[in-house]
Structure 1
Amino acid sequence: MSVTRCPALLVAAPASGQGKTTVVSALARLHARAGRRVSVFKVGPDFIDPAWHELASGRPVEQLDLWINGEADCAARLHAAAARSDLILVEGVMGLFDGQPSAADLAQRFGLPVLAVIDAGAMAGSFGALAFGLRHYRPGLRWAGVLANRTAGAGHADMLRDSLNDIDDWLGALPRSPAWTLPERHLGLTLAGELGDALARIDAAADALATTPLGRLDSAALARRFDTGFAAPPPAAPVPPLLAGRRIAVARDAAFCFIYPSNLATLAALGAQVEFFSPLADTRLPACDAVWLPGGYPELHAGRLAANRPLRDALAARIAAGMPVWAECGGLMLLADTLSLADGDEYRLWGLLPGAVAMQRRLAGLGPQRLRLDGHELRGHSFHYAACVSRAEVIAHSEPAGRGHGEAVYRHGPVLASFFHPRFASSPEATARLFLPRGNAGAHAAGAIAGIGAAPAAALPGSAA
């Protein structure tokens, strides 16, 4: 079996909000500035943190999730990255042991050394106890060390270092500073592309990290401490060209930016030609056979979207002619009759999916999900603050891979809409069915949508408890 070696780190934490994204971005930027090729991955479904990592590394960022991607896909992506990189960085999700599967499960499966980032701003000796617990909670977990974040200065950092059982665990400290603080909002961090000083913030964090033991490791030292072997997985099955010759118009702008690179790659592998358009700026729809309205932040741009009647009317005409539309989370919100914001403002949107959407002050959906389409299974996730009340037909529900609730799949003519975010590569066959004509429209489309349905829980291997 072919094994490719590359230094690698999985950057984890005891909980969310500890500063993992800042540290990963700073470390990626530090090594990219030195001319090293850095590949960054994010554990679990996430559209926002990868944008910071892409800016820092200068390279596309993909997700790794043992349940959503599957082990073989994770192995293939890591092996390919090792062949083209000088350093692999993987940002964990939530706390190191949170979720089933967790970041620790991924680290253990692929032998990734774990760097723990701990927000030490309000602790002293307990820092050592927390680091010890993370290191020893699970036997066999490969350990890299610990980095203190948001410290009060050199004296505080010394106190934290001295609390460790093993001084070799100490990889340094980042002090608290507004120069590299990443701003947040309701879905997480603000997108890097929305901040004019985003790269300056990452550079400032990289400069600070360069003074730490972690930041002073050069290529040779990284290879000595964090060398990791990635075995080549078996060849993947070829993707059938079910969308050959079809043009898919994909909304992409500040309001619709939740697009996994792997989803676009899957459309290309299916044979589709992708054309991008902006619901914020464009008044015409590209020549296309189907439309994908992905997620994003329509609630932040509701006024401009409501005012774009020419594009709304162009899409309405194509829907009336039977063109398939897949509207996902933010895309669903755009098509609704009305959108009510948390502050009470209400906007009349495009009225192509009967019903109303209202923003909530608490999460309305969160977690990994699966959806069966005509005998195939799409895996993905849900993460939204909006609630929808629609008169459209509900033809299926996604199923949570653990606690929580499934997401309705609405059908209104040729429109399918849901808060479910699918990962297209989990089932190219099911993905094709989202973009093929509904009903009797050729051999590829025969029975495509009629077979949507949820499988019983007992038939769903791999579900988390």
Structure 2
Amino acid sequence: MVSAPASGQGKTSVTAAIARANVRRGRRVCVFKTGPDFIDPMILARACGGPVHQLDLFMGGLAHCRGLLHAAAASADLVLVEGVMGLFDGQPSSADLASAFGLPVLAVIDASAMAQTFGALAHGLATFRGDTRVMGVVANRVGSPGHARMVGESLPAGLPLVAALRRDTELSLPERHLGLVQAMELPELDALLDRWAHAWDDATGGAFEPSPIAFEAPMGEAMPPFAERPLDGVRIAVANDPAFSFIYPANLDVLRQLGAEPVFFSPLTDAALPSCEALWLPGGYPELHAPALSGNAAMGRAIRHHVAQDKPVLAECGGLLYLLESLTDVAGQRHAMVGALPGHAVMRQRFAALGLQAVTLPEGELRGHSFHYSTLSTEMQPVARGRNPNGGSTAEAVYRQGRLTASYIHHYFASNPRATAALFRPGAH
């Protein structure tokens, strides 16, 4: 596991650098991301050349995470898990995941504004919990060889400095609200990943070889097979373009195992929906593409027609915004949206809600998370509200009109495949 004392330390770039360096040596690398996240996995997937799944003890559960890790360990030469926030932050935390599976932790610490205190911070990470093993430390953004030597000498005995990475603005990724810029929007990403890998190999001499760990056989599969396939033959149109890209790979796996056929389309450029029995509008950045979405009147008509036929629709966060009457961007410009749901959304300068969510729907409980910068005004009354397992204030409303279900929640389908099947199954509930 690659973790850190806080967000913004460089976990993603270090994880990607290790992954790409090993891929360039011909190794099979599998990367996971701890906790709910869409942006970092896009970067990591490009680094390792394969899908990046979430490992989340709340959204997926222990058996689900064990099954995913076991399958990865059986097929890959190296398995990396990028942590979330700080090592001990949240419930469940990255440390909880590392402890559950015996994952050694590589701690990434931004050393740019400290000297000997670096050692104290590393010592704290290594000793705060007895069930978490920190196997080494990466000093990120060091200013000079002398600075690297200083922070290295501050480390306690038995806690090695694995790498000291120089501060270099040319190795940084651009950011926006919700995190890093999406991989699909970075034409130079592969070249940047190669530079990261080169910097990692330079700093380690290509000698970073984590010791293998024993991993027990799973007590259950990541997604137990169903005796029946309740969505057999159901085509689900899935929005997937720069405006709607927040899709967990596990969600697509669940739909396929339920028997469904996901078919992708672009609300930005397509004039019609593909032939389908159900529609999934995941989250993304509709606010960044509001003029194009507003201008694609043909797609708006197609979606309204689908809704009018009372076919199943699931709209999550950005998908919810798209179905409203209007969306106002941060510049105050109001854009007409599809108009399938009554209401108006306004983008804000800082996030409006954040947190894990569990929501009990008529179909059953689904788990997921919420993170958005917009606020919604609507006359709709919720059929359910999410709850935060950590006691946070975020309690997202879930709205329903006929077979259309919409909310700010990004659902993790593996938390309840049967409830997921009920949401997308054609016909009346």
**Which TM-score tier does this pair reach, normalised by the shorter chain?**
over 0.9
The aligned length equals 426
The answer for the alignment partner of 1:11 in structure 2 is: 2
Amino acid at match of 1:25: A
1:44-443 maps to which residues of 2 (within 5 A)?
44-166=35-157, 168-213=159-204, 215-217=206-208, 221-222=209-210, 225-235=211-221, 237-239=224-226, 240-374=228-362, 376-402=364-390, 403-437=392-426, 441=427
Counterpart Cα distance in 1 of 2:368 and 2:291: 30
1:226 offset after TM fit, Å? 4.3
Q: Is the 8 A contact 2:237 2:280 kept in 1?
A: yes
Counterpart Cα distance in 1 of 2:31 and 2:256: 23
Q: Is the 8 A contact 1:82 1:230 kept in 2?
A: no
Counterpart Cα distance in 2 of 1:289 and 1:101: 37
Q: Percent identity?
A: 51
Alpha-carbon RMSD across the aligned residues, in angstroms, is 1.4
Q: Is the 8 A contact 2:141 2:166 kept in 1?
A: yes
Q: Is the 8 A contact 1:112 1:228 kept in 2?
A: no
1:215 offset after TM fit, Å? 4.0
* 340-349 or 49-58, which deviates more: 340-349
SS in 2 for 1:232: coil
Distance 1:173 1:230, change over 3 A: farther
1:231-254 deviation per Cα after TM superposition (whole angstroms, max 9, x unaligned)? 322356433411112111010000
SS in 2 for 1:326: strand
Distance 1:126 1:385, change over 3 A: same
Amino acid at match of 2:296: N
* 119-128 or 164-173, which deviates more: 164-173
1:31 pairs, out of 1, 9, 22, with 22
Amino acid at match of 1:300: L
Q: Is the 8 A contact 1:78 1:230 kept in 2?
A: no
Q: Is the 8 A contact 2:63 2:218 kept in 1?
A: no
The answer for the alignment partner of 2:13 in structure 1 is: 22
Distance 1:401 1:170, change over 3 A: same
Distance 1:86 1:406, change over 3 A: same
1:262 offset after TM fit, Å? 0.6
1:269-293 deviation per Cα after TM superposition (whole angstroms, max 9, x unaligned)? 1111111110001001111111000
Counterpart Cα distance in 2 of 1:363 and 1:433: 31
Amino acid at match of 2:334: E
Distance 1:330 1:62, change over 3 A: same
TM-score (norm 1): 0.89
1:36-65 deviation per Cα after TM superposition (whole angstroms, max 9, x unaligned)? 000000000100100111000001100001
Q: Is the 8 A contact 2:363 2:422 kept in 1?
A: no
Counterpart Cα distance in 1 of 2:74 and 2:402: 47
Amino acid at match of 2:316: E
Distance 1:63 1:329, change over 3 A: same
1:375 offset after TM fit, Å? 5.8
The answer for the alignment partner of 1:6 in structure 2 is: none
1:33 offset after TM fit, Å? 0.6
Q: Where do 5+ consecutive residues of structure 1 fail to align?
A: 1-9, 447-465
Counterpart Cα distance in 2 of 1:167 and 1:320: 65
Counterpart Cα distance in 1 of 2:116 and 2:178: 33
SS in 2 for 1:394: coil
Amino acid at match of 2:225: P
Amino acid at match of 1:304: A
* 206-215 or 54-63, which deviates more: 206-215
Q: Is the 8 A contact 2:111 2:139 kept in 1?
A: yes
1:120-146 deviation per Cα after TM superposition (whole angstroms, max 9, x unaligned)? 001001000000000011113222100
1:194-221 deviation per Cα after TM superposition (whole angstroms, max 9, x unaligned)? 011111111111111102238423xxx4
* 388-397 or 231-240, which deviates more: 231-240
Q: Is the 8 A contact 1:409 1:418 kept in 2?
A: yes
SS in 2 for 1:387: strand
Counterpart Cα distance in 1 of 2:247 and 2:124: 37
1:406 offset after TM fit, Å? 1.1
Q: Is the 8 A contact 2:135 2:159 kept in 1?
A: no
Amino acid at match of 1:179: E
TM-score (norm 2): 0.96
Distance 1:354 1:214, change over 3 A: farther
1:373 offset after TM fit, Å? 2.6
Amino acid at match of 2:172: T
1:167 offset after TM fit, Å? 6.1
SS in 1 for 2:360: strand
